[in-house]
Chains A and B, each alone.
Chain A
Amino acid sequence: MKRYECLRAIAPHFGDELVVTNLGAVRHEWQALRPHHGNYHLQNLGLTSSMALGLALALPHRKVVAFDGDGSLLLNLGSLATIANQHPKNLVHVVFDNECYESSRGAPTATAGQADLAAVARGCGFGKVLTAKTLSEFEDGFMRALKGGDLYFIHAKVEVGAGDVPAAALDSQENKYLFVRYIERSENLKILTSTLSRASDDKK
């Protein structure tokens, strides 16, 4: 199975879930399949799981889904220990493992050798760890995680290859503002501070 097929199978089931995507093709694939202000496309390799953890802890009543990759998670394996200890029941951590640095021309990652990310997640204390090697295994497992009220780690073993989608117009600043404004609206929160005018200062 390919990552794009996995994403295409689950995209219709998304409502107001918040999504953090990893660097690489996954962000363009997901933005094409589910254009939504609740998508945060991280411009960093490694911290997808950590950003998703912070978001899940801040908004425990919202489901948060991380679309991570093997190269990214290998940079930040310690995040699995932190996530398992914090145990946010609203977080689904999906790792698309293609065993290579696909966006960097495809050199093998450690999972092409001996490393098993599902075993690492179990060892760090994740109780619900699913490994999917077929599309139906992935779809079934993901839907269970999406509907379940617990922390899940989904290890999707995928073939190399990106979906045939247009490059998303993803500007980091624009993405941040759209995402934060969406959270402010949907959660009735004030995140971005505004400057009071001198006139309003005088009224104090």
Chain B
Amino acid sequence: MKREVAAEIVDSLKEAGVDFVATLTEANLHDLVIALGEDSAIHHVPVTREEEGIGICAGAYLGGKKPAMVMMNAGFLLSTNALATVCIHPGIPVLMLIGHSGGVGEENAGHATVGALTEPVLQAMHIVYEKVGRFEEIRSTIRDSQMLARSSRRPTAIVLNKQALR
């Protein structure tokens, strides 16, 4: 991810009211994770496993924060039970920014299956999501996805494709 893309995401999150972010990094998310850690307006919690981050975000919401979770799609797949039991069942929102490895443009064969499963699993969980690839889409998509998460009291997701991640 280019630094200007990371900066646009951080700025858009703040404009959408997000003040608490849990992250699990990956090469494509590195600049975003570093930028979040350097921003004093956002409490940044690097986690050891993605479902842990979902629990932390849910607790932060109960305490009045506006949380988001940054992770790759492998971590989203790992978090499905946490999302179902901790967020969707009681009605707790969390905005998820999900890096999409294994999508179109992927050169690593090892990511193909996780890439193909990501959208069907989001759909199976009835999680509303938007796919983002172009710089100009970032700000409005973050604003609108956060709006829906808060009003519907459900998790929402933004799937960042290879174009956005590079």
Q: A55 contacts B150, CB within 8 Å?
A: no
Q: Residues of A contacting B86 with CB < 8 Å?
A: 42-44, 47, 51
Which one of B49, B55, B90 lies within 8 Å of A54 (CB-CB)? B55
Beta-carbon contact of B45 and A57 below 8 Å = yes
Chain B residues closer than 8 Å to A21, beta-carbon distance: none
> What is the total number of residues of chain B having a CB less than 8 Å from a CB of chain A?
34
Task: Determine which of A56, A76, A78, A187 lies in contact with B64 in the assembled complex, contact meaning CB atoms within 8 Å.
Answer: A187
A47 touches B20 (CB 8 A): no
Question: Are A40 and B51 in contact, CB atoms less than 8 angstroms apart?
Answer: no
Whether B90 pairs with A86 at a CB distance below 8 angstroms is: no
For chain A, the bracket of interface size reads: 35 or more
Contact in complex: B52, A58 (CB < 8 Å): no
Which residue of B48, B54, B59, B153 contacts A81 across the interface (Cβ within 8 Å)?
Answer: B48
Verify A78–B52 contact, CB threshold 8 A.
yes
Top-5 shortest CB links A-B: A54-B59, A58-B63, A78-B48, A50-B55, A47-B55
Interface residues in chain A, defined as those with a beta carbon under 8 Å from any beta carbon in chain B: 20, 40, 42-44, 46-47, 49-59, 62, 76, 78-79, 81-82, 85-86, 172-173, 175-176, 179-180, 183-184, 187, 189, 191-193, 195
Taking Cβ atoms with an 8 Å cutoff, the residues of B that contact A are 20, 43, 45-49, 51-65, 67, 81-82, 85-86, 89-92, 150-151, 153
